[in-house]
Structure 1
């Protein structure tokens, strides 16, 4: 059995004895395939309710039953595509059920009560005119055996889910208990280490305080020598930083000029490519128009060639008719010539018999005149026929020459059409190459723009670093000048705090006396903000903490905060953060 659809849908349930109501009913569609003894497919539709376990309506549709359903409801699809179309309708209903006025609805109409008899399950489409019933299925209420089987399957699935959840719960309990034991063990170890470190720290602080009081006088004498060295070192560092900054700025400016030149060249190439592309498009359009005209001329010439062929056939037919008529006239002329010969013979005979036949001379002369007139008319007709024949022969030659010229013109035009087609193909290929080159150039331009942005960002960062270095150098010079002026012996109380806390601060903590450090609140210097958003503490606090004048810590628009000094100062002076509140566990008490 293959499950095709299993979801909860909103169905309008209407019974005969109660009012219409909405209910969330689970629609399950399965395809049951049996091959023993005969291959058979059945579509099983089942309606259940997750709240009411006794709610069960089912219907099994075989291929024979579907044929009758198809005839009754006027369906246009076969049984193979019916399940998918039915599922598509259910998906439409699922998509429309959250709207105020859904277009597709599901109706379940019972004849009497909800758990009796049969029910009609239908898919209805609503519009402004009427309700269209796309499909209506008659479902039967599940019998006691079917309900028991359904409840047994539900119970078995619930038991399987329960077993899997119990296994997961055991695994999580074991993991959590293992983690808890490991955490308790590490906590005990860390507490031991903390006690040990505290004892070591107290011993070290006492020894350092005694040693510091002894070494303080010797260190004061060394401070003057170190002060001169520091001035020389700071001057050298400043000169080196200025030189490196100038070199880096020159390199970046040259790189920027090169990038700008390359971007200009690329933009010019892009414009040239675009103009060439437009020219190619214009040439392509003109070539297409010329090819269209050539095709039209070829079709017209072929049409004229056909008409000339028909005219040639007509002329040849008329020529044949005239040739036959000419043959007839020649035959008549031959007959007339034979008649003339005979008359001549008769004339000779009459001339020989002239003397004897003088009485018949006039009649014979009259007949001779008639014959001569007929001979003249026949000769004239023969001349006319010869002229017509010559004219027809000349027309035939002219038509043959015209046909030859037309054929040569058509052949040349077909060659022109082929040439234009080849030119069109080459132009299209060139257009594609130009487009590819244009896309490649656009990608190069975008990459160069990104490189330019990164170089500008690096330039800005180098400027900011230079400003911070200048501020640090000024602050160090000011501190050194103040230390030279302030040579009074400090009170012993002012050295106890740095001696107790500067176990890893370096030589500076031992050289100079410092006032007690005030504690800053989290509102003054929050350590969870990034360095560019941290605000400096008030000037009087900085004067108290570092011994500097307040004017060197005033916030200016063109200045950059001293990240390294202030963050180190604040990290030492801020109180420890409160630990995060742990959430109570569901399995262990707090």
Structure 2
């Protein structure tokens, strides 16, 4: 038994005294080979309904039955190619069953009010003109024994599929449970490590924050002292500016008096110029009267000139019109002479063409006679070739029928292979989803590890920064102590004027407010680097302690004008604090 076709198709069911309805019916086509007494091939057609297990219609077509069917319905194919052609028609119906107006339809009609007894199963092609019936088969309803056999086969196949699926499910469940237990163990270990690292990080961060707050208080005290000194300097600058302002006011008053005298002189000149303008206006009025008289004379002369011009223009028009008429008549005479000459040339050319055409007609008649002879010989040869071609076509048809039988066998085998491959593909998809879930969990664990490593690195960097800051603070304290000791024996003038600081007093800290904007370009960075190098050379410290840091703590509460202004006009390059951004 070889299965050729097995699909669920939409069939129009017609019963006696009932409305037409559509039903989903499974159509199976099997090829049965029997070799016991005689070598026979039977085609089995079965109609079943997945929703109704008692719905069964069978038809067995042998080679002898097919011959009678062929004669009755006017089929043009043999029994060997009949199964494939029938399957092609069913596939056309399957492809068009979802469209609103299908071209190919399947009809199942019975004589009774219920589908019982013999029924006709037909393939119909719909047209705008009529419905063409390609094939109609008489099916018989299955007996009780046939229904029981069919149900037993269905149950056996379902049980076998169920057992195979249960075995695969058990294997996959065992594998997945093992992988889940392993993943849960690794997760618990990683969470413990995470909690331990978080505790360490919180303790270290609290210690560092307390230390930074103490250092901030010290720096704020220093900033207040610096602010007081800057206020004193601003007061002195204000006094100097007031004195300079008084001087500028006196100079402006002296200029005002000079300008008033010059203004009086200019008004006197203005009055003199106005009297001169009046005299010139009287002279202008007399000149304008003379000009109007001359204009009237010019107008009268122009009118006389215009009348003379019109008379001359009319006479010129008459002359040109007569000249044009003479030229037109001369041109007509020339055109008529050219036409006569052309007609003579055309007559001569037509006579020559007539002679040449007569000669070519004679030569073509000779060629036609020769071609008729060759056509007769070729027609005889074509008749012989057609006989040979007919023989070859008969042989080709026999070979094609053999190839179609082989193709039907290979198609059925490929369908079985496709079903098995689809089942395997579904199981592999389930396995891939489980593997993807495990991979996502592993990625989450790796991300947590990376986060822990980054936090540990940041802690190490902050420790290094703290050490360098402590070194810089101790060094600054030493320098301040030395400067305080060296300032004690200074002169009383320096004590009275604290703003005047000598050039050799040593180092000085600049504090700049922190802003959200970036630095003003490469020039500021170059200046900062040059000052840092000078300070490092003069004090003996490494230049890395005076570099600008993006994570430094800014000083708040000071105005930007005060902070950017240098205290003494003659001072050495300033030392940049490691705690404040340069």
Pairwise TM-score range, normalised by the shorter structure: 0.3 to 0.5
- Normalised by the size of structure 2, how large is the TM-score? 0.38
- Normalised by the size of structure 1, how large is the TM-score? 0.38
